[in-house]
Amino acid sequence: MAVGVPESEVFAAADTVLARGERPTVERVRLELGRGSPARVGSLLDQWWDRLAQRLRSETRLPSLPSEVSQAFITIWQQAVRLAEDVAEQSLDDQRQVLVEERAKMLAIEDAARQEAAQYRQQAATAIAQQQLAERRLADLERLLEQGLRQIEDLTQQRDGLKDDRDAGRERIQSLERQLLSDRYDADQARKAQETYVRDVEARAHREVDRAREESKATGVQLKESAKQLVQLQKRLETTLQALDLLKSEQGAQKALSTQSARQLVEWEAKFAENCILLESAQHAATAQQARAETLEQMITHLRSQAQPTRRKRVTKPAAPEDT
């Protein structure tokens, strides 16, 4: 509110209002001034009323008039003064009431302002406490954020390391797959070569067995024939020996026949020895052929036993790793 309105301006404004025939009040004087607070204007207006009474008393001196007229004029003037004082007093009472009401309003406003200020201070303290709590929470969140960022950085490094390990593992798996395919191809080629070799060996062994069997059969036939011839030779030798014994008993006439029979006996003995040698050779050959046939059969069995696992063996391809 405005403070320090000059006293002279308030008095002049009150005189102006009174000159218009209106009763000077706080509102009329403020309206005339265009400024000033009600308390300031009211206190100065009280002083103006007091001075007005003094001014009016000082104006009781009248020019020389007849005593009756002067007395009557003085009486009227005194009545007017008393009336003016009563009006002024009534105005002062009204002004005092206005001032009391204004003061009560100001006290209420001040009380409300104090309450609002206390409320604002409480709100400010609460806001400061909330701000401090929010700052602490913000600091905690910042620390958590920093920890989270460090964890994210660590996890990122671990992820990159795992990616490198995964890539290296993939390359190793691909290399192993290529090596596996190469080994499988080599194994297939070796299996095919082994199968071809086994087939060739089996065929050759079968041919050898068949030939050995044929030779064994032929040797058996020869043995049978040699045995028959040997039996025949033995029989003829016995017959010759018997004839020789008979011839020896006849020393004279039959000497030439004995000599011929002796040569024939020697020839038969030579043939017999030769047949024995042939028989023994044939027996050895038959035994050798039989042993060779058995050896070939054992080789065929061994090759078949080695070839069967190679045919049944299957190499499974490892599953490709899933992408993460």
DSSP labels, 183-250: HHHHHHHHHHHHHHHHHHHHHHHHHHHHHHHHHHHHHHHHHHHHHHHHHHHHHHHHHHHHHHHHHHH-
- CA dist 246 and 235 (Å) reads 16
User: What DSSP character marks residue 317?
Assistant: P
Residue 212 makes CB contacts below 8 A (sequence gap 6+) with: 289, 290, 292, 293, 296
Q: Which of 60, 95, 114 is the last residue of a domain?
A: 114
**266 vs 7, 67, 167, 308, CA distance in Å?**
197, 234, 98, 62
Q: Of 82, 98, 114, which marks where a domain is finished?
A: 114
Looking at the domain assignment, is residue 175 inside a domain?
no
Decide which of 114, 135, 157 is a domain's last residue. 114
Low-confidence ranges of the chain (pLDDT < 50): 1-2, 315-318, 320-321, 323-324
In a domain, 77, yes or no: yes
Query: What token pair was written down for 73?
Result: 């004029």
Q: Is residue 235 part of a domain?
A: yes
Write phi, then psi, for 154 (nearest 5 degrees). -65, -45
Whether 226 is covered by a domain: the verdict is: yes
Distance (Å, rounded) from C-alpha 19 to C-alpha 259? 217
pTM of the shown model: 0.29
Angle at 274 (CA atoms; ends 270, 279), nearest 5 degrees = 145
Model pLDDT, residue 79: 78
Cα 163 from Cα 171, distance rounded (Å): 12
Domain that holds residue 247: 195-312
Closest CA to 205 of 304, 117, 110: 304
Domain annotation covers residue 298: yes
Q: Residue 15 domain-assigned?
A: yes
Look at the block and give the residue holding tokens 């309450």. 115
200 and 110 belong to one structural domain: no
Evaluate whether residue 126 is within a structural domain: no
Count of beta carbons in the 10 Å neighbourhood of residue 41: 28
155 located within any domain = no
Please tell me the total count of domains within the chain: 2
- The confidence score (pLDDT) of residue 307 equals 61
* pLDDT for the residue numbered 121: 85
**Whether 203 and 103 share a structural domain:** no
- Residues 295 and 248: their CA atoms lie apart, in Å, by 56
Distances (CA, A) of 93 to 25, 82, 233: 11, 16, 192
